[in-house]
Amino acid sequence: MPTPTSTLRATTDKRSRSDGRTHLSVATRSLWGVLMLAMDTATGVVSVALHDGSRVLAQEDVARPQAHAEHLAPAIETVLARAGRRPQEVTQVAAGTGPGPFTGLRVGLVTAATFAYAIDAPVGGVCSLDAIAHQVWLEGLAGPRLLVTGDARRKEVYWAPYRLDESGAHAEAEPAVGKAADLPPELLEWPVAGRGPLLYPTAFGGDPQSGQPAPLALPVLDVSAGALAHLAITRLARGAALDSTQPLYLRRPDAQPQAERKPVSQAGAGAAPGPSA
């Protein structure tokens, strides 16, 4: 089975805001010898990326809220072709574990496990809200506090609070689900990423009648597989394990109760079982 090398390279990376001002100066590490295929289907955007341990080689984002199964496989083929790589060259697979709706989320996780099993590579999970928070951190858009939201349908949002520092975005609580209007008031004073402010602008201080957007809303709306891959590689480079590929549904009766986010090793946990002896 192909395995990434353990060689790490420390580099200084200036995180710059869109207005040109440096927001964060941090030391990041790259994991050499890895070729990670990352995917997320927890939102209305199917996102797939290929990362070589130091940069995104190719990424494909398809906004088709009701057609994850139709677009995921072609997106995988597209990023591999664009990067000039074969499936057998992939050394690690990572998938967003949600929270998200049952059908779309399941498509990504099953595909990730099946792909990893077919090429005998390890597979691990990353909370999709963590990936959004990581993208905000990479782009230097907020700090030191951040609220990440997602569309939970039924007039509700998925949400989680984060602390941002020079080492990254750190979840301060497990993801939760509820009505936007019922969020803790102190969280509504933080910058917010994700779809919440677009779906429920009034709850986040916007005025839909005048067209005034939520004042603290950030432009990061959905999961970027490139950011998810970068986060997964960062965790592996630091010696941490990825999460299991158990989906985070958070709510009945969409699916079974939420499973605990347990770490897995790089030994391929979460992949489809092999043939019995």
243 lies in a domain?
Answer: yes
Partner residues linked to 256 by β-bridges: none
pLDDT digits (tens, 9 = 90+) for 213-268: 899 999 999 999 999 999 999 999 999 999 999 999 997 544 444 445 555 444 34
Name the residue range of residue 240's domain.
26-128+222-264
Query: CA 273 to CA 232: how far, in whole Å?
Result: 23
One-letter amino acid for residue 77 of the chain: E
The DSSP H or E segment spanning 195 is none
Q: How many domains does the chain have?
A: 1
Give the angle 44-45-46 at the CA atoms, nearest 5°.
Answer: 120
- Give 216-272 as a DSSP string: TB-S--S--HHHHHHHHHHHHHTTPPEEPS-----STTTSSPPPP--EE-TTTTTSP
151 lies in a domain?
Answer: no
pLDDT digits (tens, 9 = 90+) for 142-195: 999 999 999 999 999 999 999 999 999 999 999 999 999 999 999 999 999 999
161 lies in a domain?
Answer: no
Query: CA 135 to CA 52: how far, in whole Å?
Result: 18
The domain that holds 83 is classified in CATH as 3.30.420.40
> The whole model's pTM is what?
0.81
